[in-house]
Amino acid sequence: MAALAFATLLQLGVVFAQPPPGEYLQADSARFRVFFRSEDAGTYRILWSSLRTGGGRLETALGIPLKDTVTFVITPTRQEWRRITGGIPDWAQGISNPHHRITILKSPRYGDPLRPFHVTAIHELVHLLLRSGHPDAFIPRWFDEGLAQILSGESLRLRTGLISQAVLSGRVHNFYQIERVMSMRASEAHLAYAESITAVDLLIKTYGWDGVRNYIAAQRSGLDPDKAFIKTFGIHLGEFEGQWFDYLRETYRFSFFHTWQFFLGIIFLPLLALAGFFAWYRRRKILRRWEKEERTRTIGGRSEEYSSPEDER
């Protein structure tokens, strides 16, 4: 996710230089430091296991060693998340700052139940690793977020409908727009993340993991994304972006028709129409009964009913 604002970084440096007395517990190793509340002890154990098993795998995949101890903070409540991160959208489940080697996570007790906690933790560790030892390296958001999703095992399967609708409506974000994802509302941000994973997926399919690692090394050496792309792949980043647009149109234009939303619509719309018909028919019967009752009157103790041609049908 996005880097924290400067003011927030100062706050984090003060708050988590030492654990706040009576509030946060602390666990340390040579590579990881975790702050958590007692009510999140079970979550801490999940995080610790994920970091210890996933850290080495990520280092191998990226070809980058974790040079310094990194800190993870499990915030126990939404209020605490907002207090620490100030201004970060509520749709975010975690946020990292490589300069301070720190990640803030939402406790699964109030976080998004559709986003597994251990997946978010590995996702954020990828962000820290990409700039490990080179915190000033500029890595474009589409690549940063796409790679973090792939390496943390996040699936695009349930988001293909988003891509398909964006392609069909001409609302696909370009790489420059994805850079501003943290200022987007939730629906647009979810689309930008889905787009990012498709871009990195295409990069891997085209150039392989060796090409991806070489691109990372070029960016960590101080080259901007376009120069690093030219050095690594021999083409401008803009040219690859055009290839990616073509890939989306060819791959996802009609994929919406294979999603559960589409099939649910096929079932739901006829049912909705049928329910509407029965509601209309019931209302018509009630109105006709009322009309019939209004035409009936009692004369001399017996009732006379005035009928209309419609009543005799």
Q: What is the residue type of 179? A: E
Inter-helix orientation angle 225-233/186-220, to 10° = 60
CATH superfamily of this structure's domain 1-136: Collagenase ColT, N-terminal domain (3.40.30.160)
Please give the pLDDT value at position 14.
43
Residue among 68, 74, 1, 67 nearest 34 (CA): 74
pLDDT at position 224 is 96
Write phi, then psi, for 70 (nearest 5 degrees): -115, 150
Summarised one tens digit per residue, pLDDT across range 104-114 is: 999 999 999 98
The C-alpha atoms of residue 213 and residue 208 are separated, in whole angstroms, by: 9
pLDDT at 268: 59
**Residue 220 to residue 212: CA distance in whole angstroms:** 12
* Cα first-last separation, the chain: 70
pLDDT score, position 263 = 44
Q: To 5 degrees, how large is the angle CA 230–CA 234–CA 238?
A: 60
Q: What is the DSSP letter of 295?
A: T
Delimit the domains of the chain by residue range. 1-136, 140-257, 261-305
Q: What residues in the chain have per-residue pLDDT under 50?
A: 1-10, 13-19, 21, 256-263, 265, 298-301, 303-313
